[in-house]
Structure 1
């Protein structure tokens, strides 16, 4: 007798797109600043020409990558991220064009669960839920703050995690 597990239906917040875009923009801005400093140093100290060619090539790749990562990827990630929690399992389903992940975590394997909120997530009223098992840590990103707290409590209750276990 095989039991079919229903596909996860819960979506993460649409505000995740804004958070990821801002985070990626900051990362790419810092990367471009470092590359510009290196290009300046290459010209100032008259390094070999091939160093400048490689640096310009990297700058072009970073600019193209930043356009894709900031404009297109966050929308795709938000639309494809699904999760669900029931009495027996936590399901996480996400992925990209080339590789998709559908993870099923048995409640009996959950050792801890917590919520994390950095400055960007806090600005948009979001939290990330971290679920720890013996093997690894899994995340459900960008859940509205109130819902994340309720979900954390629900997972802790269903998994039998209490304060004395931590």
Structure 2
């Protein structure tokens, strides 16, 4: 029987800062929308129960924002693992709900390195590995490591570059 070892490579520590910045941006947007809805509920005299529901939802979101900005990024970085062998790409992730993914190299159809503005600031890339039915992401790797990993996966999967 084939033995598949646990993945042991970690993503970059800078991922914590990237996830925190992304969470702050999304939570600020949610707070602005929530505040606008609360303002509209009072000024346009919506049903009396609507402002109460909006305040409760806003309170829940503030508690969730504290979790999402302070604790979750550290735990995600701590438990995220990946591994590459000649036969498989292995991904292990999850804090409470753990997920182990094994992607056979023969099923890999594409691999790409992506870098948005926040990742660029921290000199990181995300690697996307696509198969016929799904796409998997290794979220935050140092620039050089990510590009080498992309080339290695492409080589092992025998992908041809289209010009």
- Per the shorter chain, which TM-score range? over 0.9
Matches within 5 A, 1:1-166: 2-97=1-96, 99-164=97-162
Residue deviations 1:56-94, cap 9 Å, x none? 001101100000111111101000000010111000000
Q: Provide the C-alpha distance between the structure 2 equivalents of 1:119 and 1:109, rounded to a whole number of angstroms.
A: 31
TM-score w.r.t. structure 1 length?
0.96
Structure 1 residue 3, shift from structure 2 partner: 2.3
C-alpha distance in 2 between matches for 1:52 and 1:4: 57
C-alpha distance in 2, partners of 1:135/1:43? 48
Cα deviation digits, residues 9-48 of structure 1 (max 9, x gap): 1000000000000001100100000010111111111222
Unpaired runs of 5+ in structure 1?
none
Unpaired runs of at least 5, structure 2? none
Number of corresponding residues:
163
SS of the residue aligned with 2:109?
strand
- Structure 2 CA distance for aligned equivalents of residues 84 and 21 of structure 1: 25
For residues 59 and 109 of structure 1, the distance between their equivalents in structure 2, rounded to whole angstroms, comes to 44
- RMSD over aligned Cα atoms: 1.0
